[in-house]
Structure 1
Amino acid sequence: MALAGAVLLTTAPTASADYIRDQQWALNVFAAEDVWTESQGEGVTVAVVDSGVDASHPDLTGQVLQGKDFTGGGNAQEDVLGHGTAMAGIIAGHGHGAGNSSGVMGLAPKAKILPLRTLQTNTDRNLDETWGAAVKYAVDHGAKVINLSFASDGGSKTLSAGREAIAYAQAHDVVVVAGSGNDGVSAVSEPAALPGVVSVGAVDKDANLWDKSNTGEGLTLTAPGVDIVNTNPTASKGYGLGSGTSDATAFVSAAAALVRAKYPDLTAGQVINRLIKSATFAHHKGLKAPDEEYGYGIVRPYSALTMDIPAGPKKNPLGQLSSSSSTSNKASQGTDSSSQAKKKKSSSSNVLGLVGGIAAVLVIGAITFAVIRSRRKGGNGGPGSSGGVSQGAGYPPAQQSFPNSAPNHGYHPQEQSLQPPNPYGQQPPSQNR
């Protein structure tokens, strides 16, 4: 297994913690302060099947459960790769300092993280039997949402161990969320392409699809996944900036945790239904759900918590993976395109980097800070470097348009020159996945 992006570290002095918080553009467009008046994810455990989670990171202290290491020994609360900790921060970071005003805040800051380490380094293979065992462990230890921020290697199919594990989770009322992949192809990778899994693509701060985000039939939702500030213990100052459907997956997992906390009587399928029916196509006109680039739309946590949406059937609107079936409608639909047909049918080896590592992780230090400050002064505001990595979110206010649940939710007065997006309403999800 290899990360799809480079890693850049610096030894620059620490940037101000307030600066870190200021770069969390996704919280602004989600109107997170309004979201948190409705739910903060309290009482919900989100399993992060990944490279482990650094429980000592100041923005995650007290949030990380003991978990389990599936790599042959070790501690799931350690993370030498940094990817799992980054996902955990997006989901349940609580910041630090006075009033927790410094550092990274997650979208569901009172949710608990169950770290399940299935690989340690970027050369480890994330085998189906390994992550499958972790998924089953998550179910048996109280997780209500499972975050799978990885995608299959070379388009390989999920083997029986992985399929059985996801079927087990679905049978036990757990929401499973996975990234669509970072190949930029029109085929959703597995395990995201499996029936009943919430498959997630990535959009940028303008609510436009990220060009590396996998698309195609079977895509469920999209979420912020470009220039996302994260908690990263491998960075010299503990923070990084990344892009990928990994990050988008973590935001949707957090949104599911918010809904499960506010509506504990809803089944996993009803939670998914609420996420789907509250999503928006934003400024993208004329799309029909499910769209192959945006799915049912861009996730809107506030709307998912507040819209008047009937609970609906208890079954998962995305289908159900049968534990005894080796094929499925969703899997076949997600792999029959000409693009997917060209992919290798190799043994399943899942790559974290395909989903989250394609954009480099880098330290937010004085160098980055200086670049962003110079851009702001110059009014440039565009992406900062090649290779799909931006070294800062120094965009002008007018570019912060994003889907929101109601007028003024996530729109500051100086940003209202843009037309508010037309929210995608409550069309019923298609059963034909």
Structure 2
Amino acid sequence: MNVFDADAVWAASQGEGVTVAVVDTGVDSSHPDLSGQVLKGKDFTGDGNAQEDLVGHGTRMASIIAAHGHGEGNKSGMMGLAPKAKILPLRVIRKRDDKNQDETWAAAVHYAVDQGAKVINLSFGDEYSQTGVTGREAIAYAEMHDVVVVAGTGNNGGDVGYPAALPGVVAVGAVDKEANLWENSNTGKQVALTAPGVDILAANKTRSQGYGIASGTSDSTAYVSAAAALVRAKYPDLTAGQVINRLIKSATFANHKGLKAPDEQYGYGIVRPYSALTMNIPAGPKGNPLGQLDASGSTSTDGSKGTGASAQAEKKSSSSGAALIVVGGVVAVVIIGAIAFVVMRNRRNGGNGGPGSGGGISPQGSGYPNAQQPYPNAAPNQGYPAAPGQFPQQPNPYTQQPPRQGQ
């Protein structure tokens, strides 16, 4: 199993100077692994505090992207893939049963662009209707202002949901530890990349120990957003389209031989951050290789390699609201698929990392798009029964110190 050397990745880039907007349930800035990483942000639900997260989902995404550990030498807790990126929390859902209306998240996308975010993470989607005009205009606005927009394909095993299916959006599916497509990951010609999304550990202060485990394309989306932040930090002169080009040109099909990119399941392959940072890839055209919406969001143009507009684009428009796209997990995973992403900071001071059992809703019940229950309440004694300031000592099924990623 090929995995990347996190230290080698961070020697090349840690996402410094890049702001990633997390359009979600807010981000808990008090979590020790995120202290100092979370900007003020803005609440779009009318409650007023984007640094409050009653659900845990937004905090989870933020930690996958930019957690830095805590304690002496930051050796406790978890590390995100881009630990020096800043998180701009934009709360569009307050409670777990709230609907995420197009008008609400579209306003957040506009705000993110105006605040200088270089990457926008959209770990939500609608699998049953097309994004309405307001949402399409917001995505077009971001694309025209040189922002990388990343969204999850969806979790019901069907067609790629919206806004991921829109031209120019990096639509991300989920793979498991064997680099195989997760059974619930949505597929279609709009899939751009895949990333780890099964049994992922992340920060979540709604759980008793401050961490939780889940599976879904929400998590894989956050990994790709972090990878985009790494590339934007190292190559600040590249356009958003050129950043996307590096991500798709450096991706791998791993053990899946004979696939032709873009594949309807894996897109251009599994994202490889180290390769995206170090491979000799010409900058190429400035435009987005995945296509782009026009200023009104009503039509699209294809990029040089673009997947183009979705065949679903003729579906009836709807602003009924997109759901968070996460399904519950069952066991701890630190290193997933062909790449190691979340690194437990006690790997050098005797800890094995990884929890025992996990919580989450059953794989059969994604709560998407109506129930909208990305994380249920943790059952007693679920999570991580570790001593304060230490990460749990249960056996970890994946190596703590991955070797350097191969080509």
TM-score by length of 1: 0.76
- Hey, what does 1:91 align to over in structure 2? 65
Candidates 234, 246, 249, aligned match of 2:221: 249
- Hey, what does 2:341 align to over in structure 1? none
| 1:63-90 Cα distance to aligned partner (Å, 9 max, x none) | 0000000001320000001000000000
Greater shift, 282-291 or 154-163, is seen at 154-163
Any idea what SS the aligned residue of 1:166 has?
helix
- Hey, what does 2:372 align to over in structure 1? none
Q: Distance in 1 between matches of 2:115 and 2:81?
A: 23
- Hey, what does 1:306 align to over in structure 2? 278
Any idea what SS the aligned residue of 2:310 has?
helix
Q: CA deviation at 1:156?
A: 1.2
Q: Distance in 2 between matches of 1:121 and 1:190?
A: 21
Q: Distance in 1 between matches of 2:224 and 2:178?
A: 18
Alignment of 1:152-231 (within 5 A): 152=126, 154-185=127-158, 187-231=159-203
For the 8 Å contact 2:20–2:120, the answer to whether it is kept is: yes
Q: CA deviation at 1:387?
A: 3.2
Q: Distance in 2 between matches of 1:345 and 1:315?
A: 27
AA of the residue aligned to 1:180 = T
Q: Distance in 2 between matches of 1:264 and 1:138?
A: 18
Unaligned runs of 5+ in 1: 1-24, 373-382, 411-419, 424-433
Number of residue pairs matched? 356
Any idea what SS the aligned residue of 1:294 has?
coil
Q: Distance in 1 between matches of 2:219 and 2:14?
A: 19
- In structure 2, relative to structure 1, the CA distance for the partners of 1:255 and 1:388 (3 Å cut) is farther
- Hey, what does 1:10 align to over in structure 2? none
Q: Distance in 2 between matches of 1:47 and 1:233?
A: 20
- In structure 2, relative to structure 1, the CA distance for the partners of 1:291 and 1:255 (3 Å cut) is same
- Hey, what does 2:47 align to over in structure 1? 73
- Hey, what does 2:363 align to over in structure 1? 387
For the 8 Å contact 1:163–1:323, the answer to whether it is kept is: no
AA of the residue aligned to 1:335 = Q
Any idea what SS the aligned residue of 1:137 has?
helix
CA RMSD of aligned residues (A): 3.0
- Hey, what does 1:265 align to over in structure 2? 237
Q: Distance in 2 between matches of 1:125 and 1:331?
A: 29
Q: Distance in 1 between matches of 2:332 and 2:254?
A: 32
Alignment of 1:24-43 (within 5 A): 29-43=3-17
Candidates 308, 333, 340, aligned match of 2:310: 333
Unaligned runs of 5+ in 2: 302-306, 334-353, 366-381, 385-393
Candidates 294, 319, 323, aligned match of 1:351: 323
AA of the residue aligned to 2:253 = F
Q: Distance in 2 between matches of 1:100 and 1:150?
A: 31
| 1:366-420 Cα distance to aligned partner (Å, 9 max, x none) | xx94569xxxxxxxxxx999637998996755xx7xxx9xxx415xxxxxxxxx7
Q: Distance in 1 between matches of 2:360 and 2:291?
A: 41
Q: Distance in 1 between matches of 2:9 and 2:312?
A: 36
Q: Distance in 2 between matches of 1:233 and 1:108?
A: 20
Q: Distance in 1 between matches of 2:296 and 2:8?
A: 44
For the 8 Å contact 2:22–2:87, the answer to whether it is kept is: yes
1:144 corresponds to 2:118 = yes
Q: CA deviation at 1:207?
A: 0.7
Q: Distance in 2 between matches of 1:282 and 1:322?
A: 35
Q: Distance in 1 between matches of 2:332 and 2:3?
A: 24
Q: CA deviation at 1:362?
A: 9.6
Q: Distance in 2 between matches of 1:215 and 1:84?
A: 24
- Between Structure 1 and Structure 2, the one with more helix by share is 1
- In structure 2, relative to structure 1, the CA distance for the partners of 1:385 and 1:361 (3 Å cut) is closer
Q: Distance in 1 between matches of 2:185 and 2:273?
A: 21
- Hey, what does 1:121 align to over in structure 2? 95
Q: CA deviation at 1:169?
A: 0.6
Q: Distance in 1 between matches of 2:175 and 2:8?
A: 22
Q: Distance in 1 between matches of 2:150 and 2:296?
A: 21
TM-score by length of 2: 0.81
Any idea what SS the aligned residue of 1:250 has?
helix
Candidates 251, 270, 276, aligned match of 2:248: 276
Any idea what SS the aligned residue of 2:130 has?
coil
| Percent of pairs with identical residues | 67
Any idea what SS the aligned residue of 1:72 has?
coil
